[in-house]
Structure 1
Amino acid sequence: MTCTVGVTRKPWSLPFVAEAQEVASLRRVMRLHLGLWGLHGVIDDAQLCLSELVSNVIRHVGVGTPATLVVSISGTRLRVEVHDPDTRALPTLVDAETNSETGRGMALIDAITDRWGVQLQAEKKVTWCELATELPAADGHCGGLRVTRAEALLSVYGHERVLLPKPARSGALSVAVAEEAAIDMIADVLHWLRAHGCDADEALDRAQTHYEAEISEADGSEK
């Protein structure tokens, strides 16, 4: 899998027609976007919420209703919204143990999300829910401190010029300390790769290949 550095999670929207056959396509789009965002851990729940929200529109507003899916990051949560033009048919939450055939979808959403709600606007209704992610911050990355540190390091490589400070002193001790820091840095990068769904072993093999090729080229130019 190809990973991108500096993931930007901009809100996105997708108009659709509320029909049963549209659900599978919307779920595929959701999986694709969340994969690109590095939010692999919430894909299944997000797809489930999407299915229930769209089914709610089909069931209570009507087949063929024009609607819109909107996905964004709210704080560190993933926010999934479905907009439809009917401000009268409001989602309801019922006890899952009752015999009612309505409201069960919202009960499921209530069970797997951090929170959900309905917003009534002038010409539309917005039914939304939010799922917890492992993001340390809205612009952060899953995987904790190591992934965040690796992201900061990788962003440096995007600049054309990198100014490195000269070592304060030389000697075996400073080299040993630097070596441990380099090993820790590599571990951070491996965590970053894993958080973005990459194959860490494949990345190490490719890095080794690049390294050996560059060493071979350098040795050849010295002869």
Structure 2
Amino acid sequence: MTSHPSRHCTVELQALPSRIGQVRRIVSAQLRYWHLDPLIDRATLGVTELLSNVHRHARPDKSCTVELELLPDRLTVSVRDHDPRLPVPADATDPADATPLATCGRGLAMVAAVSESWGARPDGENGKVVWFTLPATAAAHGHPARPPQDTPRPAPAPASVTATVVAGVSAEVSAAPGGGVTVGGGTAVPLKVAAATAPAGP
């Protein structure tokens, strides 16, 4: 049986408005690096909604971890925080709150609308994970045909990479040569980024 190793990217951050935009750019860059450009809009919208929920509702702090996991048939995006309370979708709340101006739970409705599936689960005694999946078919991967023999193949990405994301960044985050992401300009603020990719095929 042929095994299909997964590929991961994790980002640790404080779910503050200024950080959410940075994470959107990191997610976009990582999906471009994985040749999943068609999934960028839905993935970044979903992660924005999940991080916004952490910012609005999570207690006792806003620390969280965003994780991307790519398997052959799907991409899973998850957000882990330190609040054990599971989210409640808008359609499960008090009908009096389910108005066009209601804000609680509407982000989850957006996540459900853009994703293939989604859910939430406890993470130990003091936390939870909220996740959603998107289909990652061969067409979504956008893999090019095998290059001609005289065309050198790109070197595989390193097993892991650490980067520093900057506050107030206005530069575009992009995939760095050899893997990972790069961010330009601004005052450095620690934000852990770890990426791992499967080895290149034969």
Q: Aligning the two structures, in what range does the TM-score lie when normalised by the shorter sequence? A: 0.5 to 0.7
Is 1:142 matched with 2:137? no
Could you say if the C-alpha distance between residues 95 and 119 of structure 1 is closer, same or farther in structure 2, counting changes exceeding 3 Å?
closer
Q: Which region of structure 1 is more displaced relative to structure 2, 40-49 or 56-65?
A: 56-65
CA distance in 1, matches of 2:24, 2:142: 22
8 Å contact kept, 1:9–1:37 = no
Match of 1:151 in 2: 146
Q: CA deviation at 1:20?
A: 1.1
- Residue of 127, 131, 134 corresponding to 2:134: 131
Q: What is the DSSP-based 3-state SS (H/G/I as helix, E as strand, rest coil) of the residue aligned with 2:7?
A: coil
8 Å contact kept, 1:77–1:130 = yes
8 Å contact kept, 1:34–1:43 = yes
Q: CA deviation at 1:152?
A: 7.8
User: Alpha carbon RMSD of aligned pairs, Å?
Assistant: 2.9
Q: What is the DSSP-based 3-state SS (H/G/I as helix, E as strand, rest coil) of the residue aligned with 2:77?
A: strand
Q: What is the DSSP-based 3-state SS (H/G/I as helix, E as strand, rest coil) of the residue aligned with 1:151?
A: coil
Q: Which has the greater radius of gyration? A: 1
8 Å contact kept, 1:77–1:131 = yes
Matches within 5 A, 1:129-208: 129-135=132-138, 141-142=141-142, 147=144, 150-151=145-146
TM superposition score normalised by structure 1: 0.56
Could you say if the C-alpha distance between residues 75 and 15 of structure 1 is closer, same or farther in structure 2, counting changes exceeding 3 Å?
same
Where does the alignment leave 5 or more consecutive residues of structure 1 unmatched? 1-7, 159-223
Q: In the alignment, residue 131 of structure 1 is paired with which amino acid?
A: L
Could you say if the C-alpha distance between residues 59 and 155 of structure 1 is closer, same or farther in structure 2, counting changes exceeding 3 Å?
farther
Q: CA deviation at 1:58?
A: 0.9
Structure with the larger strand share:
2
Deviation digits for residues 24-44 of structure 1 (CA, Å, limit 9, x no counterpart): 100010111011111000101
Percent of aligned positions that are identical: 30
Match of 1:60 in 2: 57
Match of 1:17 in 2: 14
CA distance in 1, matches of 2:104, 2:12: 25
Q: What is the DSSP-based 3-state SS (H/G/I as helix, E as strand, rest coil) of the residue aligned with 2:17?
A: coil
Is 1:92 matched with 2:88? yes
Counting matched residue pairs gives 142
Q: Which has the higher contact order (CA 8 A, sep 6+)?
A: 2
Could you say if the C-alpha distance between residues 155 and 116 of structure 1 is closer, same or farther in structure 2, counting changes exceeding 3 Å?
farther
Is 1:83 matched with 2:86? no
Q: CA deviation at 1:135?
A: 2.5
CA distance in 2, matches of 1:61, 1:53: 11
Could you say if the C-alpha distance between residues 151 and 14 of structure 1 is closer, same or farther in structure 2, counting changes exceeding 3 Å?
same
Deviation digits for residues 77-115 of structure 1 (CA, Å, limit 9, x no counterpart): 111110101112x11212399313211000011111000
Deviation digits for residues 157-210 of structure 1 (CA, Å, limit 9, x no counterpart): 65xxxxxxxxxxxxxxxxxxxxxxxxxxxxxxxxxxxxxxxxxxxxxxxxxxxx
Where does the alignment leave 5 or more consecutive residues of structure 2 unmatched? 154-202
8 Å contact kept, 1:69–1:80 = yes
8 Å contact kept, 2:78–2:129 = yes
8 Å contact kept, 2:73–2:136 = yes
